[in-house]
A and B are shown apart, each in its own frame.
Chain A
Amino acid sequence: MAQMSTVETSGGTRGSALPAWLKSGLLTIVAVLIVMGVWQVAAIAFDVPVWLVPKPSDFMARFVSDFPLLLHHAFETSKTLLMGFALGVLIAVPLAFAITSFGALERGLFPVIVFLNIMPKTVIGPILIVWFGIGPLVAVLIVFLMSFFPVLVDSMSGFRAVDPRLYYITRSMGASPAQTFFRIRLPASMDHIFAGMKIGVVKAVEGVIIAEFIASSAGLGYLIMRASGFMDMTLMFSGLIMAALVALVFNSGMSIAEVVLMPWSRRSQ
């Protein structure tokens, strides 16, 4: 995958003066502007009321005028997302290591986790509300539940990816278990762990808004839900845009972290 995209990139650069990423970025912007333009013209032409479908000019103006409010809630959402996701990674990675190290855990605990994962996570929301009350904590826990599993599964395959014969070599070096873990197993699993984290972050972004719909007193999901109560369409649409921006920041943050933390990866070259 990574290699293919590199080939495409260099192929694209050969033909024109613009670098491929800039070209595709500009194309995206042009496409968005066309969609918005058609939308704007259609809304005016058919005289669609703002409370039904707002025009781009309406919600973009609202996005600008209420930017501080949106930013505040975006910040709350990001905080929830980050906490839930971090909790997921911090529990999933060591647990994956434990499961792959002890056969009993793999046979006993893993099926239970798989079963729990099949359950729709948001359904647990009302139960969590009873336990912890309405607030960001419940949203954090739902984000945790959503991002935990992909990280766990990919980390497990990461910890299994090391050729066991390598341990003959490290044993001959007299490596301690800690040295073997931190110098070999963990870095060797990073590729897989990152793949899991990338899926996990997508799940987390998806989950955080839904979690805030049902169980929070702050954040973009809460803001959109409240705006819905007032039929405040322009605020809902600007909230939607802000949510997309938060998702974009987190997804690109993961890609940047991958390049920084794994300079050996082919993708980083």
Chain B
Amino acid sequence: MDPQKNQGTGASIVARDITKIYGTGPDAFHALGPIDLDIKPGEFVSLIGPSGCGKSTTMLLVSGLEPISQGHVEIDGKPLTKPISEIGIVFQDHLLLDFRTAIQNVMLQQEIRKLDKADMRSRADALFEQLDLVGAEDKYPWQLSGGMRQRVSIARALVHDPSMLIMDEPFGALDAISRTQIRHDLEMLWLAKRKTVLFITHSIEEAVGLSDRVLVMSKSPGRIVEEISIDLPRPRPAHLGEYPEFAVYAKKIYTIFEKLGVYNF
């Protein structure tokens, strides 16, 4: 795959009636769907919903990392048949390799994809600068703070310039202050590169703070129950309450959660 091919643009994701059923027979577990997705190139879309609603499953299905039980997915108009390679993945846990320094963890992309080393190194250096990681290059993961580890993990997901980024609760393990900062840094990176982002979160503030569109999911089986377009100027501030609309969006999501029985006050 040519990493330069999608320079500057994100991939489009179209999913039709995708369903995931784990196991067969009476033990089969209907985890997800059927759901439809229409994600435009360069769009920032969040999936929000209670635990076990199939958010992570959705992410794995549209990236080809888990087989789809029914339905089909098209990436950039091409049917999905195998794991997408033009993708960056970030999980809640940084999943960095203990035996590699920060920069070596990022350069794993270059080594395995056999890309040009000097070119990738300069891309990695640029990302380290944008993610406020300068000076951490030669540190091992255990020498870094949780927030910095997650930043390295984001750099690893972006260094090969993928056309889409999938993030599964990437800030879930961080403290509130780090979360706000890293949310802003991610938004700035996204504004510069406009890759398609599928962002999974439990946090209403994160979903509204980052997304163009928020998809609210219900559980067993996982379905998309509501779609909310977030029409707020970017970059968005640390304190989202500055926008009166923020409260309206948040209220909308809370109301859906209450209706779904996610909250019981």
B60 near A183 with CB under 8 A, answer no
A175 within 8 A of B: yes
Given contacts A165-B91, A165-B95, contact A264 B100 (CB under 8 A): yes
B95 near A163 with CB under 8 A, answer yes
- Interface of chain B residues 177 through 230 with chain A (CB within 8 A): none
Docked Cα-Cα span, A132 to B236, in Å, equals 78
In the complex, which of the residues A168, A190, A262, A266 has the most CB atoms of chain B within 10 Å of its own CB atom? A168
A173 near B95 with CB under 8 A, answer no
B98 near A173 with CB under 8 A, answer no
Docked Cα-Cα span, A169 to B162, in Å, equals 13
Docked Cα-Cα span, A188 to B85, in Å, equals 23
The number of residues on chain A lying at the interface, defined by a beta carbon within 8 Å of a beta carbon of chain B, is: 21
Closest chain-A Cβ to B7's Cβ sits at a distance in Å of 19
Across the interface, name the chain B residue whose C-beta is closest to A180.
B112
- Which residues on A sit within 8 Å (CB–CB) of B60? 168
Across the interface, name the chain B residue whose C-beta is closest to A186.
B99
A172 near B140 with CB under 8 A, answer no
Given contacts A264-B99, A264-B140, contact A173 B108 (CB under 8 A): yes
Docked Cα-Cα span, A266 to B93, in Å, equals 20
Given contacts A172-B84, A173-B112, contact A190 B89 (CB under 8 A): no
Complex partner residue of A183 from B1, B91, B108, CB under 8 angstroms: B108
A266 near B142 with CB under 8 A, answer yes
A168 near B99 with CB under 8 A, answer no
- Interface of chain B residues 43 through 102 with chain A (CB within 8 A): 60, 63, 65, 83-85, 87-89, 91, 93, 95, 97-101
Across the interface, name the chain B residue whose C-beta is closest to A176.
B112
Docked Cα-Cα span, A191 to B140, in Å, equals 15
Say whether chain A's binding surface is mostly helix, strand, loop, or mixed.
Answer: helix
Complex partner residue of B98 from A174, A175, A183, A264, CB under 8 angstroms: A264
- Interface of chain B residues 97 through 118 with chain A (CB within 8 A): 97-101, 108-109, 111-113
- Interface of chain B residues 149 through 196 with chain A (CB within 8 A): 156
B98 near A168 with CB under 8 A, answer no
Complex partner residue of B112 from A166, A179, A191, CB under 8 angstroms: A179
A168 near B65 with CB under 8 A, answer yes
A187 within 8 A of B: yes
Docked Cα-Cα span, A266 to B99, in Å, equals 10
B99 near A188 with CB under 8 A, answer yes
B95 near A166 with CB under 8 A, answer yes
Across the interface, name the chain A residue whose C-beta is closest to B89.
A169
Given contacts A190-B99, A262-B99, A264-B98, contact A171 B108 (CB under 8 A): no
Known: A174-B85, A264-B140. 17 other contacts (CB 8 A): A165-B93, A168-B60, A169-B156, A170-B112, A172-B84, A173-B108, A173-B112, A173-B113, A174-B1, A183-B108, A183-B111, A187-B97, A187-B99, A188-B99, A190-B99, A262-B99, A264-B98
Sample of 23 A–B contacts (CB below 8 Å): A163-B93, A165-B95, A166-B97, A168-B60, A168-B65, A171-B83, A172-B63, A172-B65, A172-B84, A172-B88, A172-B89, A173-B85, A173-B108, A173-B113, A174-B85, A183-B112, A184-B97, A187-B99, A188-B97, A190-B99, A191-B98, A262-B99, A264-B99
